[in-house]
Chains A and B, each alone.
Chain A
Amino acid sequence: MDRRDFLKKAGATAAASATGVAAPAVFTSASAQSRAETLLIVSESGPNNLDIHGVGTNVPGYEVSWNCYDRLISHEMKTGPNGVAYYDRDKFKPELAEDMNVGKDSATFKLRRDAKFHDGTPVTAQDVKWSLDRAVSVGGFPTFQKKAGSLEKPEQFVVVDDHTVRVDFIRPDRLTIPDLAVIVPCIVNSGLVKKNAGPNDPWGLEYTKQNTAGSGAYRCTKWTPGTEVVLERNNDWKGGAQPKIPRIIWRMVPSAGNRRALLERGDADISYDLPSKDFAELKSSSRLNIVSTPYSNGIQYIGMNVKKPPFDNPKVRQAVAHALPYQKIMDAVQFGLSEPMFGAPAGAATKAEWPQPHKYNTDLAKARALLAEAGMPNGFETTISFDLGFAGVNEPLCVLVQESLALIGIKATINKVPGANWRTELNKKEMPLFTNVFSGWLDYPEYFYFWCYDGQNSVFNTMSYQNPEMDRLIAAARTSAAAGEMATYEQSVRGFVDLAYADVPRIPLFQPYVNVAMQKNVGGYQYWFHRRLDYRALTKA
């Protein structure tokens, strides 16, 4: 019996004996039935828009879209690390399509004939074209996500007949088909939305912001922004096996302590954004089921601005890479809940995959030597910046880095940037030293490198790293992947990983985990590239 158990029991006994009445149940008997049929999710924040095509839809909004809309295709599942059901990057399964035929210049999709939208109208090829046109035309995030898979123009989507759609390729790109299985290319009820579209709003974004107009397994029946989302099962869903849970209630509980209390008391069924410390403690108490899966294609790193001294000198960057307190960060910040990205054995061969650990380790003598070689034996002064929106991880991390750098003479001042301002600061590309996370939906090394290391200098190339050799290797990987020349592809991937680790403009620290805490009677959790919950597979005994 641990302390918490003891307190709980002692407290309950005291209360019962003092008042002479049993503690009232949180749920009344009338609601016991609906309790069994309902999954209660608690999380810190909720959606600001139910449609991923909307302006500035936040990440919780993606979860609604994923469960309420169908796509042409989706991914099969496989068994991932720790035995968790994990989406299979390379295997697709039909969702609204019943057949997919990928040719050299185009892919043809045959639609299911029995699929219907929530209002009962059948899903047709016209709906599919309208929806894909919408995704590439509305601008902002959805359009840019489509561009990542070379889906750029409405002309690429052709209605062959009422139940057949063809997607024409504008260039060979390995990411085109995967990009049709992400959240963005959801199929929208075009008739319903057009009816509710205004003259200034041809795509009906105002309507779909508040209403789900899809054919998916759930539909949103109530949404109180900042408070609650209620989803009901669509019993006519044709995209897969009928989901087990009839109703989902998703409540926003801003206090992490209360989310944990709700889970431990058994009132909430599932939650997935608690501090690492809480997850580590819950894991050891084994009263709940905790599933931890590494972020696919994502790492937390220390970045250095290579355009400005002193970090324009590779020796200085290597010195920093030898001075970071990697293991301390793993233990004291992450509580062991992440995948180390450092300290690969000296002789280990580089693999054609990403992410993979680098060979740097905490070695202050080596760091000092490198700093002396760079002509700065006494170190220098700099600032280390982080995003306050993720202060729970970033703040202790930066304090540890500051402490460790001080040991080799680098005096770093900590600069806390408010969440709303972080992206602006990244865009300016002026911060000398910072920590950040990047993760890509599409789990391909060249995708990550194209965003983070390529000379086009996107916002995610936070270091402003530009190197023609790097660009050449990334381009070679992309073209060889599209052409199916796997030997050249693997050689290019190994090439750019080696270059990135030799030049170290960014130093990977760890691959974070997606931690999900659920009651023992909740099952069917699946890890998806978007890292949100898929309600369709969840079960509740």
Chain B
Amino acid sequence: MLKVFLGRLMTTIPALIGVVAVSFLLTRVLPGDTAAYFAGPAATPQAVEEVRKSLGLDRPLPEQFSRYVADLSRGNLGNSLTTGQPVLEDLKSRLPASAELTLFGLVLSLLVAIPLGITAAVKQGSFIDHACRAVATAGVSLPVFFTGLLLVYVFYFILQISPAPLGRLDVFASAPPTVTGFYLVDSLIARDMQTFKATLAQLLLPGITLAIFSLAPIARITRASMLAVLSMEFIRTARASGLGKRTIIMTYAFRNAMLPVVTTLGMVFSFLLGANVLVEKVFAWPGVGSYAVEALIASDFAPVQGFVLAMAILYIVLNLIIDLSYRLIDPRMGATS
């Protein structure tokens, strides 16, 4: 297992080098001039030049790149000009916010999507099957910002049962002491039930928004994969042997249908983490998605590079975990490789 792990780890290195180089080059070919943007509305050309110089942007590209790599090797991701903070600090404080929201949304989504997918596969062509198709289609078709705004309008503005969409916590509540950066976990560690409830209340609407969006791929894959497994011979044998319906579906069919679901799950998670920028905007959520987009609009290179790098590492780690979990789900995976 360790050997496999190390072997997989080695293959990630070229990918990382590629990401560093590409993210650097991409931000440089973006239209827009950082210096002009940050010199402010009343800047003269001289002022712009002064800002450019103080940012080191007047130097040739290879020199900027070697500086960037040297800084990276010291763990310095540079400074964000939009927030004025070191990028590493920004990512550290914002990644947990996004991760908590995404995980929460994903769990909500799983709770609905998997039972829905399984039922749809078992009762193919039934009312549930059509409902599954309808829900999945609606979920992907509704843009997240629309779902988000709609939920805010209904549950905050009209029904008044949701707290104000003001980020992770109410304005007058204070964050629990940081252990994991996940407020739900941290407030439990601090045994602060009031903060836990407040956090949960804030998480609910954005979580549901994300869940509605990510429902579709999970439910559809569960259904398709279950259908494939259910038509296999070992299921027929199990049925012929008179095993209980529940045992057949959950123990035999679902376990075998899980591989593609887990693969999709990994994809959906990493996709949501970066792509939930719109949800973050709607709910004033201090996450990485909105951070990266704001930086991009301002031609602020360092955070964009830092974000791409963080996302790349996350993808790599996730894929590694998924690869390794295959072996746990299906022992044959280890034997063939």
Q: Give chain A's interface residues, CB within 8 Å of chain B.
A: 7-8, 11-12, 14-15, 19, 23-24, 26-28, 31, 34-35, 38, 40, 42, 45, 47-49, 54-59, 139-141, 143-145, 209-210, 224-228, 249, 251-255, 257-258, 261-262, 264-265, 267-268, 389, 418-421, 423-424, 427, 458-459
The answer to whether B323 has its CB under 8 Å from any CB of chain A is: no
A139 and B47 in contact (CB under 8 A), knowing A251-B171, A419-B297, A424-B32? yes
Shortest CB distance B284–A (Å)? 5
Measured between beta carbons, the chain A residues less than 8 angstroms from B36 are: 420, 423-424, 427
A140 and B43 in contact (CB under 8 A), knowing A226-B286, A265-B160, A423-B36? yes
The answer, among A35, A59, A140, A389, for a CB contact under 8 Å with B51, is: A140
Give the interface segment out of B15-23, B83-91, B177-185, B261-269: B83-91
What 1/0 mask marks residues of chain B from 74 to 93 whose CB sits below 8 Å from any chain A CB?
00000011111100001001
Quick one: closest B residue to A139, CB to CB? B50
The answer to whether B294 has its CB under 8 Å from any CB of chain A is: yes
Measured between beta carbons, the chain B residues less than 8 angstroms from A12 are: 158-160
Q: Give chain B's interface residues, CB within 8 Å of chain A.
A: 30-34, 36-48, 50-51, 54-55, 80-85, 90, 93, 145, 149, 152-154, 156-161, 163-167, 170-173, 194, 281-284, 286, 290-291, 294, 297-299
Measured between beta carbons, the chain B residues less than 8 angstroms from A257 are: 149, 152-153
Shortest CB distance B306–A (Å)? 14
The answer, among B47, B51, B157, for a CB contact under 8 Å with A264, is: B157
The answer, among B31, B44, B161, B170, for a CB contact under 8 Å with A15, is: B161
Q: Are B294 and A424 in contact (CB under 8 A)?
A: no
Q: Are A226 and B32 in contact (CB under 8 A)?
A: no
A459 and B45 in contact (CB under 8 A), knowing A35-B172, A56-B51, A264-B157? yes
Bound CA span A361–B167, Å:
48
Q: Are B31 and A421 in contact (CB under 8 A)?
A: yes
Shortest CB distance B165–A (Å)? 5
Q: Are B172 and A226 in contact (CB under 8 A)?
A: no
Quick one: closest A residue to B30, CB to CB? A420
Bound CA span A258–B166, Å:
9
A27-B172, A209-B84, A423-B37 given; name 10 further pairs at CB < 8 Å.
A15-B161, A59-B40, A143-B47, A144-B42, A144-B47, A227-B167, A254-B281, A258-B282, A264-B157, A265-B156
Bound CA span A12–B44, Å:
55
Q: Are A226 and B161 in contact (CB under 8 A)?
A: no
Quick one: closest A residue to B296, CB to CB? A420
Bound CA span A261–B47, Å:
40
Bound CA span A28–B169, Å:
13
Q: Are A140 and B39 in contact (CB under 8 A)?
A: yes
Q: Are A23 and B159 in contact (CB under 8 A)?
A: yes
The answer, among A31, A145, A254, A265, for a CB contact under 8 Å with B290, is: A254
Measured between beta carbons, the chain A residues less than 8 angstroms from B37 are: 56, 419-420, 423
Q: Are A265 and B47 in contact (CB under 8 A)?
A: no
The answer, among A8, A23, A249, for a CB contact under 8 Å with B171, is: A249
Measured between beta carbons, the chain A residues less than 8 angstroms from B145 are: 255
Shortest CB distance A451–B (Å)? 8
Measured between beta carbons, the chain A residues less than 8 angstroms from B157 are: 8, 261, 264-265
Q: Are B42 and A253 in contact (CB under 8 A)?
A: no
Bound CA span A145–B47, Å:
11
Measured between beta carbons, the chain A residues less than 8 angstroms from B31 are: 418, 420-421
Bound CA span A240–B160, Å:
41
Q: Are A15 and B160 in contact (CB under 8 A)?
A: yes
Shortest CB distance B307–A (Å)? 13
Q: Are A427 and B166 in contact (CB under 8 A)?
A: no
Quick one: closest A residue to B82, CB to CB? A48
Measured between beta carbons, the chain A residues less than 8 angstroms from B166 are: 42, 251, 253, 262, 267
Measured between beta carbons, the chain A residues less than 8 angstroms from B42 are: 141, 144-145
Q: Are B83 and A225 in contact (CB under 8 A)?
A: yes
Bound CA span A209–B42, Å:
20
Q: Are B299 and A420 in contact (CB under 8 A)?
A: yes
Measured between beta carbons, the chain A residues less than 8 angstroms from B170 are: 26-28, 31
A24 and B167 in contact (CB under 8 A), knowing A48-B81, A255-B282, A420-B32? no
Measured between beta carbons, the chain B residues less than 8 angstroms from A24 are: 161, 163
Measured between beta carbons, the chain A residues less than 8 angstroms from B41 are: 59
Measured between beta carbons, the chain A residues less than 8 angstroms from B281 are: 254-255
A226 and B297 in contact (CB under 8 A), knowing A58-B40, A254-B284? no
Q: Are B159 and A15 in contact (CB under 8 A)?
A: yes
CB-defined A-B contacts under 8 Å, sample of 28: A8-B158, A11-B160, A14-B159, A35-B172, A38-B172, A49-B84, A55-B51, A56-B51, A139-B50, A144-B46, A144-B47, A145-B42, A226-B286, A226-B294, A255-B149, A255-B165, A257-B149, A258-B165, A261-B156, A261-B157, A262-B165, A264-B157, A267-B164, A419-B297, A419-B298, A420-B32, A420-B34, A458-B44
Q: Are B159 and A420 in contact (CB under 8 A)?
A: no
The answer, among B33, B55, B284, for a CB contact under 8 Å with A420, is: B33
Measured between beta carbons, the chain A residues less than 8 angstroms from B294 are: 45, 226
Quick one: closest A residue to B38, CB to CB? A56
Q: Are B85 and A225 in contact (CB under 8 A)?
A: yes
Quick one: closest A residue to B164, CB to CB? A267
Give the 8 A-B CB pairs with smallest separation, nearest first.
A56-B38, A420-B32, A225-B83, A11-B158, A420-B299, A31-B172, A423-B36, A424-B33
Bound CA span A251–B173, Å:
13
Bound CA span A24–B41, Å:
44
Q: Are A141 and B297 in contact (CB under 8 A)?
A: no
Quick one: closest B residue to A27, CB to CB? B172
